[in-house]
Structure 1
């Protein structure tokens, strides 16, 4: 299996970056992350999420 960096390019690191992807404020995003409402994990004290999973989550949530 070959990885051309696409997997790491899909990762969004930090609350501010995740907030930009989902169109929310940092505070709203932190609350959503802290309550488990978003598909993300904490890694070494920072939040990380897959851009694809975030977008899929938002599309499914809106339907």
Structure 2
């Protein structure tokens, strides 16, 4: 969500850890959310981490 920087959606393929990663991230702000690579262990979690880092750069966090 642009105004609050709250994570409202996760899209990440069919890897088995994506539901857990999504549960841990959705509803938290970019500043407060854990890094997907800290809590996930698949290529999908790595891709989510890349997107997470890019959003932090864009939002200047």
Same fold (TM over 0.5): no
TM-score (norm 1): 0.28
| Structure (1 or 2) with the greater strand fraction | 1
TM-score by length of 2: 0.28
* Larger helix fraction of residues: 1
